[in-house]
């Protein structure tokens, strides 16, 4: 695991707009119908901060700040600027109701939100329209985007990889749509006894933060496994950091040395 700083690269100026046909299919190897059905059933709750997605609402500030800072560092932007991501094309894979797509758009990015659950896309589109945000939401799969030759400055895979049927296909397609010199950010859960205790038993059965069955511990990825898949897809690992929850303050924080449960990976595609 490298701890070197991301390279300074200019945003893509020639990437084509994603063609409408690029997301017409949702049948590739990575799409799991059972997982899609699970999140479709909860779709109405995306924007309820005290509902079924409350943990994600609480988690959002720390992951948003991490993504913003890494994008600004990599593309030589000022994170204190009002819209530091202007000119960057970002793909939010598994965008759900748009909890990450919307703040990325407010920071100036040109955002494409992608989800295999059609109901999620309808809700995300409606909320963006109500918020007067221009976000290109697509119902489909990342494999379709890769097949169409789409390219983005950054691809966000946040809390998605543990829900896909074929991790290799999913990450390979995700890496394919990162343009040379671009980056990918992945957030997921480690497969450890601690994550089973906290993310499954604690979050779903004891505290009931999430509906039972939201996660399958067997699908969690160890950092070494995720890193190997990303490297096999042509990306270089720039950084890994853990994210820890403080129950006393009901908040999340970066915990660089604690990858036992939640963690994020920053990966780069060589220019």
pLDDT tens-digit map of 39-87: 677 667 889 998 888 888 999 999 999 999 999 999 999 999 999 999 9
Q: Map residue 192 onto helix, strand or coil.
A: coil
57 to each of 6, 133, 190, 228, how far by Cα in Å?
A: 28, 19, 20, 30
What gap in Å lies between CA 7 and CA 174, rounded to an integer? 20
Is 29 buried (19+), middle (13-18) or exposed (0-12) by CB count in 10 A? Answer: middle
Residues whose CB falls within 8 Å of the CB of residue 244, separated by 6 or more in sequence, listed in order: 252, 253, 254, 255, 258, 261, 262
pLDDT, tens digit, 9 for 90 and up, residues 159-182: 999 999 999 999 999 999 999 999
What stretch of H or E contains 56? helix 54-74
Report which of residues 235 and 33 the model is more confident about.
235
Terminal Cα distance for the chain, rounded = 20
Q: Are the CB atoms for 117 and 36 separated by under 8 Å?
A: yes
Structure tokens at 167: 């991790």
Q: What is the pTM for the complete model shown?
A: 0.85
């Amino acid at each position: 695991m490298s701890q070197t700083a991301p390279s300074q690269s200019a945003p893509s100026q020639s990437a084509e707009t994603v063609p409408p046909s690029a997301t017409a299919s949702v049948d590739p190897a990575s799409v799991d119908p059972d997982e899609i059905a699970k999140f479709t059933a909860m779709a109405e709750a995306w924007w309820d901060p005290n509902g079924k997605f409350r943990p994600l609402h609480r988690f959002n500030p720390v992951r948003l700040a991490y993504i913003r800072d890494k994008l600004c560092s990599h593309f030589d932007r000022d994170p204190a600027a009002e819209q530091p991501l202007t000119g960057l094309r970002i793909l939010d894979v598994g965008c759900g109701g748009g909890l990450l797509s919307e703040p990325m758009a407010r920071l100036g990015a040109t955002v494409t939100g992608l989800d295999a659950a059609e109901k999620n896309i309808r809700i995300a589109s409606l909320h963006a329209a109500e918020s007067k945000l221009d976000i290109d939401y697509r119902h489909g799969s990342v494999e379709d985007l890769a097949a169409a030759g789409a390219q983005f400055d950054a691809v966000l895979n946040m809390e998605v990889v543990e829900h896909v049927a074929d991790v290799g296909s999913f990450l390979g397609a995700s890496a394919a749509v990162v343009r040379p010199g671009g980056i990918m950010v992945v957030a997921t859960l480690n497969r450890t006894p601690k994550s089973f205790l906290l993310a499954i038993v604690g979050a779903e059965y004891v505290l009931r933060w999430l509906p039972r069955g939201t996660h399958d511990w067997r699908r969690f990825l160890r950092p070494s496994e995720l890193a190997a898949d990303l490297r096999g897809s042509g990306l270089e690992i720039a950084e890994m950091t853990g994210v820890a929850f403080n129950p006393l303050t009901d908040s999340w924080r970066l915990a660089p040395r604690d990858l036992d449960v939640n963690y994020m990976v920053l990966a780069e595609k060589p220019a």
